[in-house]
Amino acid sequence: MAKILVVYHSQSGNTRAAAEFVAQGAEEAGGKVALLEARRAGVEDLLRCEGIAFGSPDYFNYIAGGLKDFFDRTFYPTQGKVTGKPYVAFITHGGGGKAKGSIELLCRIFKFKKITDTLLIEGKPDAASAAQLKDLGKKLAAAITK
Ligand SMILES: Cc1cc2nc3c(=O)[nH]c(=O)nc-3n(C[C@H](O)[C@H](O)[C@H](O)COP(=O)(O)O)c2cc1C
């Protein structure tokens, strides 16, 4: 069973809702999911999982501080131990979405393996976005089990 970490930051709930759909998709594909707010997640969560879904709002064209803090805290203790670990990312935004660049840069520095394009969702996920988010979770689970 694919062990998946869905880690996110959310201030007003849009990214939390998105994260729940990603987790649902991963579970439907047979994954065992830990859905964690970034401030509650740490080194062990990152080491233990076999794949990660990162969720962030776009704040000032950048990754949200709460999720950035997770990357900051986990970098040195996991360096060299997470190389090639599969990841996907999703961003909720208010019409921009440029935070994609900062998340993908951090994932490259950690040497995670990108499974598919980062998903951009405007505002709260609607039914169409929910389907895309679930699909993202499924793709991550499939990448681990194949
Ligand atoms: C401090 C702050 C900065 C923001 N900056 C941007 C931005 O640069 N580009 C953008 O598209 N949306 C921006 N937004 C809108 C949020 O990305 C959007 O509302 C997001 O869905 C909020 O996610 P949350 O409900 O999970 O906190 C900003 C919102 C806040 C509170």
* The pLDDT of residue 1: 85
Which runs of E-coded beta strand occur in the chain? 3-8, 32-37, 51-59, 62-63, 86-93, 113-114, 119-122
Domain residue spans of the chain: 3-145
Pocket lining: 59 vs ligand 1, CB cutoff 6 Å: yes
Residue whose CA lies nearest to ligand 1 atom number 16: 93
CB 30 less than 6 A from any atom of ligand 1:
no
The rounded Å distance from CA 13 to ligand 1 centre is: 11
Nearest Cα residue to atom 9 of ligand 1: 96
* Tokens standing for residue 79: 């360096």
CATH domain 3-145 topology: Rossmann fold (3.40.50)
Burial string for 127-137 (b: 16+ CB within 10 Å, else e) reads: eebbebbbbbb
Ligand 1: centre distance to CA 7 (Å): 17
- Which two structure tokens, joined as six digits, stand for 39? 């401030």
Amino acid at 131: A
Averages of pLDDT over runs of 10 residues in the chain (146 residues) are 96 98 98 98 98 98 98 98 98 97 98 98 98 98 90
Q: What is the pLDDT of residues 36-65, one digit of tens each?
A: 999 999 999 999 999 999 999 999 999 999
- With a threshold of 0.95, does the pTM exceed it? yes
CA dihedral 75, 51, 137, 129 (to 10 degrees): 20
Q: What is the pLDDT of residue 145?
A: 84
Tokens of 8: 């996110």
